[in-house]
Amino acid sequence: MAKITFLGAGSTVFAKNVLGDVMLTPALQEFELALFDIDLERLKDSENMLNNLKSSLGSGCTVKAYTNRKEALRGAKYVVNAIQVGGYDPCTITDFEIPKKYGLRQTIADTIGIGGIFRNLRTIPVMLDFAKDIQEVCPDAWFFNYTNPMAVLTNAMITYGGVKTVGLCHSVQACVPHLFRCLGLDSDGVQAKIAGINHMAWLLEVTKDGVDLYPEIKRRASEKQKEKHGDMVRYELMFRFGYYVTESSEHNAEYHPYFIKKKYPELIEQFNIPLDEYPRRCIHQIENWKMMREELVNDKSLTHSRSNEYASYMLEAMETDKPFKIGGNVMNTGLITNLPKEACVEVPCLVDASGVTPTYVGDLPPQLAALNRTNINTQLLTLEAAVTGKKEHIYHAALLDPHTSAELSIDDIVALCDDLIEVHGDWLPKYR
């Protein structure tokens, strides 16, 4: 029996979406769904939930939980990754609270910035351990990465892990529907072209029946910007740089040096920026899980409708050779010609029985490529720190981060990195 392995299967709600989708896909009925998580209680919860779902949906898939990672991976054809190393407590708390002591505020802290750098540093070693297991027991498997920081982790798995990897993120799928819904526009029949890097890809073209919709988008956005709303940072970036960005305003507020500034605290109110947003979400999710657990895990009649997650549609395309288009994170093998070849980029990709085939984009508008490179600099130096074990590259990554370098002095950035290394302790490898 062919196997789909889910790493981080204790993410029960996400496992329900991805593997529930698999159970509803005719071409995937003969697969074993192999579950692995280091949290054995959450692993058991997901196993119970999926077996209930299998029964109520009448699926031909087999559900099996593993406590040995290598055995979970053995013989897998596909691997889905949804881990979070260090969780909310202690690591996310550390990523937010230590920088606050230096006056450095964040919103999400899972991509770049100080929080993104340290999330990478504790996650990359785990991912490369996955890669070693995959090379040994399922070397031909496709690895679908859903874990953030997306660009660096996908890059690490391909460049240093030698694993066939594609990074999958919701921001491309949600970009046009969200924008059009907020502006009162109909997105049916709209054609869009999106490319850049993860969480900072750009809506390069948006048309309907051959008509460019950007003038109307900008007109409506200009009106909407006159009052408070949740997308103010993205609209401001669009007005200043010409194009709408895929990821949310709370994310983009911390990817640039313009919005979260001690010297101009009024900007937080002006652009409606939710500082400390991710810790609030974590607390809310933890409390919600306490209430959801019983009905989700023990409901014998639990059911599911196929979601818009990419995974099952990609698996279906690979198994049936019926092509499916995604926005995927892959290495920049000449795809975006004015971004570095060492970078992981987010571009349209075709999925079929031959795997994932990225499409050529060419040059981005120069201002967009320049913005992307400011984030790529920190991404590549973070990866360099992780693979060399040299502390100096952690400093380099932080010193080149747009938000951090706009707020703190060189000495404070270095001291902040040292404090985070010390407080993270055994969650990080030793740096020299």
Sequence-distant (6+) residues with CB within 8 A of 359 are 335, 347, 348, 349, 350
Spatial distance between the Cα atoms of 243 and 205, rounded to a whole number of angstroms: 9
Sequence-distant (6+) residues with CB within 8 A of 354 are none
Judge if 33 and 176 occupy the same domain: no
Choose one of 169, 193, 215: the last residue of a domain. 169
Judge if 34 and 72 occupy the same domain: yes
From the list 193, 188, 174, the residue with the least C-alpha distance to 309 is 174
Judge if 201 and 338 occupy the same domain: yes
Task: Tell me the CATH number at 348.
Answer: 3.90.110.10
Q: 108 in a domain, yes or no?
A: yes
H or E element that contains 29: none
Q: Which residues pair with 207 in a beta bridge?
A: 191, 212
pLDDT tens, residue order, the chain (432 aa): 899 999 999 999 999 999 999 999 999 999 999 999 999 999 999 999 999 999 999 999 999 999 999 999 999 999 999 999 999 999 999 999 999 999 999 999 999 999 999 999 999 999 999 999 999 999 999 999 999 999 999 999 999 999 999 999 999 999 999 999 999 999 999 999 999 999 999 999 999 999 999 999 999 999 999 999 999 999 999 999 999 999 999 999 999 999 999 999 999 999 999 999 999 999 999 999 988 998 899 999 999 999 999 999 999 999 999 999 999 999 999 999 999 999 999 999 999 999 999 999 999 999 999 999 999 999 999 999 999 999 999 999 999 999 999 999 999 999 999 999 999 999 999 999
User: Which tokens go with 313?
Assistant: 């549609």
Choose one of 137, 169, 201: the last residue of a domain. 169
Q: 232 in a domain, yes or no?
A: yes
Judge if 129 and 235 occupy the same domain: no
169 labeled part of a ligand binding site: yes
Number of domains in the chain: 2
Judge if 142 and 207 occupy the same domain: no
Sequence-distant (6+) residues with CB within 8 A of 240 are none
From the list 337, 386, 326, the residue with the least C-alpha distance to 153 is 386
Judge if 71 and 213 occupy the same domain: no
* Cβ atoms of 315 and 22 closer than 8 Å: yes
User: Which tokens go with 90?
Assistant: 């202690």
Give the chain's end-to-end CA distance (angstroms, integer).
46
pTM greater than 0.95 (yes/no): yes
Task: Tell me the CATH number at 14.
Answer: 3.90.1820.10
Judge if 131 and 205 occupy the same domain: no
User: Which tokens go with 212?
Assistant: 């460019």
**Chain segment 34-46, per-residue pLDDT in tens:** 999 999 999 999 9
Spatial distance between the Cα atoms of 115 and 118, rounded to a whole number of angstroms: 5
Q: Which residue range(s) make up the domain with 244?
A: 91-98+170-275+314-432
Judge if 363 and 232 occupy the same domain: yes
| Neighbouring C-beta atoms of residue 350, cutoff 10 Å | 16
Judge if 164 and 179 occupy the same domain: no
Spatial distance between the Cα atoms of 75 and 138, rounded to a whole number of angstroms: 5
Judge if 247 and 135 occupy the same domain: no
148 labeled part of a ligand binding site: yes
User: Which tokens go with 272?
Assistant: 């409606």
349 labeled part of a ligand binding site: no
Q: Which pLDDT value is given to residue 1?
A: 85
**Chain segment 267-324, per-residue pLDDT in tens:** 999 999 999 999 999 999 999 998 899 889 999 999 999 999 999 999 999 999 999 9
**Chain segment 313-354, per-residue pLDDT in tens:** 999 999 999 999 999 999 999 999 999 999 999 999 999 999
CA dist list (Å): 389 to 376, 386, 393, 431: 19, 5, 8, 5
170 included as an active-site residue: yes
Spatial distance between the Cα atoms of 120 and 328, rounded to a whole number of angstroms: 19
| Neighbouring C-beta atoms of residue 378, cutoff 10 Å | 29
Angle at 94 (CA atoms; ends 88, 97), nearest 5 degrees: 115
Check residue 319 and report its DSSP letter.
H
Residue 158, judged by CB atoms within 10 A of its CB (0-12, 13-18, 19+), counts as buried
